[in-house]
Structure 1
Amino acid sequence: MDLRRLRYLVVVAEEGHITRAAERLGIQQPPLTRQIRALEEELGVRLFERLPRGMRLTDAGRAVVGEAQAILERAGRLPDLAARAARGERGRLAVGYTSSGAFHPFVAQQIRAFRAASPGVLLALAEDGTPELVRGLEEERLDAAFVRSGGTHGSDLLVEPVLEEPMVAALPTGHPLARLKSVALAALAEETFVFYRRPTGPGLHDAIVAACLRAGFSPMVGQEAPRMSSTLGLVAAGLGVSIVPASMQRMNVEGVAFVPFGGDPGLTAPLLLVSRRRGRSAILERFRAQVKAAA
């Protein structure tokens, strides 16, 4: 469908007179008349009744004019739409995060800030384990992901450090150490640990084991949970102690006390932003720039 003909149709309908419409459009009357007739032939209906002193829309003409106005309006928005999409202000962004990352205020703050700054972008969010998030990036189901481990990702992924936070001991509230203001990591040497499964969070899992070895013991693992959040449920049930990022305290799990470590056990939990190195959209670049500036 020729947009020019649709514009001619709308102007003739608004003027109700072919001569006035031609003057308004800045063209001669005969070419305008031919264009209107060509449009009628294309649609297979009469759009106007020819009157002695003007033109009047038929029922079909009124229906077509309404649609033509909407089409022209949308077509007029295309340049702005294209420019906004090129600037990363329109489109879709899929962001994933681990269960522990979901409780860090930084992640929620960045998602809220991006939604406020880019209302034309549809944000799709997904919570999952690190391996699943990495697979989502590789299969292009996700554009970016907040994870805790950066050591196992392929060369096609860009891993950018965002921040680090301390880790704390998670103890059942009835545990003798739960009343202390701080605890030495070595004080947990005889405890049974509740860990999240290593394939789910290999970075934090290995960092905890390494810190325990530096403190002079190998942790005794009694239970493993699929997610860090479910780890705290097992701690609350009295099945052991755990070590979690400090931001997990925001869960306020009944029956769990969080105690910081004294000294410097070398236990920190990184927060990383992972994205593909290739094929990054303008939307993703805006999101990365915002996250890096905030960090």
Structure 2
Amino acid sequence: MNRSLTATLRQYEAFDVVAETLHFGRAAQLLGVAQPALTQQIKQLEAEFGGELLFDRNRRRVLLTEFGETVLPEVRALLRQAHRVENIADAARGGRRGRIELAYIGSASYAGVLGRVLKTFRAGTDVDLVLHELDMDLQIREIVAGRIDAGFVRLPLSGVPDVLVTRDILEEDIMLALPRGHRLEGAESVRMADLCKESFIFTHLGPDLGFAACAYALCSDAGFTPHIAHRARQFTAIVSFVSAGLGVAFVPASVARMAEVGVSFVRISDATVTSRIGLAHLDAPTNPTLRRLLAILEPIDRL
């Protein structure tokens, strides 16, 4: 029956350094221990090996025995593996190694914030990054259920569990998308009072969630209730509906970068709110990679 060894990594390290220096005094200095303590570690290791001597030592020299020569390569391989485990554990603890699943809304990608954050996050790491494009209502459900670590969302969030928190990442102005030939086309800016009789295209979300909450707040602050002719899940579809002449729409400033034929974008001079993109996550994240992502988020940008 094979004996179970109880030798420690410190004893193996002591053996390795003495084998390298062939001098107990210098080895003790390198290891930062007293020479008697080092000698005791070697004796304990030899006892673990059934009393086989690792070194032939006398007053003039220290040499490896044949037994020591035989086990030394395996000891060094063991120490290399132990160091590798420590390095991997350190990287995982610091969020530089591991796995993270993130959700995002489509408008976070063309706002530029998604690419910027992920590029900074992945630099110098070995993280398995999994991305899902999901509507905000689905993101909230998946994050709360623990199936996704975090999600890029449009703020504000309301009516969500208290365990869900957000971090602001980007703030941008809200603009008005107009079809070509609209009476306000060509204006340098518009006022909210000019829009009270317009037909609007809104997102599919309710009046207290995400960009929809911002759009409803704009109209409420201006003293009117919007007439919503159509709804759509994505800003790309909303802009396409505007192009088709189905109505006008409030959109984040980044959407104005879309080169959609038949649509013009106009600044709202008296807008009372802005649109914000944030990262939603549980309030006590246990995933080290998520904690690292939160730590590197830059101060809020403005578009």
The normalised TM-score by structure 2 is: 0.70
Instruction: Give the conservation status (yes or no) of the 8 Å contact 2:179–2:263.
Output: yes
SS across alignment from 2:228? strand
From 229, 237, 243, the equivalent of 1:230 is: 237
| Structure 1 residue 265 corresponds to structure 2 residue 274 | no
Instruction: Give the conservation status (yes or no) of the 8 Å contact 2:198–2:248.
Output: yes
Query: Structure 1, residues 175-234: CA drift from partner, whole Å, max 9, x if none?
Result: 231211111122122211111112498232233223213323221111111222211111
SS across alignment from 2:239? helix
Instruction: Give the conservation status (yes or no) of the 8 Å contact 2:207–2:213.
Output: no
How many pairs were matched up?
243
SS across alignment from 2:189? coil
| Structure 1 residue 274 corresponds to structure 2 residue 277 | no
1:101 maps to: 108
What percent identity do the matched residue pairs reach?
31
Q: Which consecutive aligned stretches of 4+ in structure 1 deviate over 6 angstroms post-superposition? A: 1-4, 22-25, 30-33, 69-73
From 133, 143, 167, the equivalent of 1:137 is: 143
**Superposed CA RMSD:** 3.3
From 167, 171, 174, the equivalent of 2:178 is: 171
Segments of 5+ residues of structure 2 without an aligned counterpart are: 8-53, 57-62
Instruction: Give the conservation status (yes or no) of the 8 Å contact 2:110–2:255.
Output: yes
CA drift of 1:106 comes to 2.3
From 180, 192, 212, the equivalent of 2:199 is: 192
SS across alignment from 1:229? helix
Instruction: Give the conservation status (yes or no) of the 8 Å contact 2:218–2:273.
Output: yes
Query: Structure 1, residues 240-284: CA drift from partner, whole Å, max 9, x if none?
Result: 10001111122222222111112x221311222211123432211
Distance 2:101 2:122 in 1: 12
Question: Which amino acid counterpart does residue 84 of structure 2 have in structure 1?
Answer: R
Distance 1:30 1:116 in 2: 44
Distance 1:110 1:197 in 2: 27
Question: Which amino acid counterpart does residue 234 of structure 1 have in structure 2?
Answer: F
Segments of 5+ residues of structure 1 without an aligned counterpart are: 5-21, 34-64
SS across alignment from 2:116? helix
Q: Map 1:219-258; keep pairs closer than 5 Å.
A: 219-258=226-265
The normalised TM-score by structure 1 is: 0.72
SS across alignment from 1:179? coil
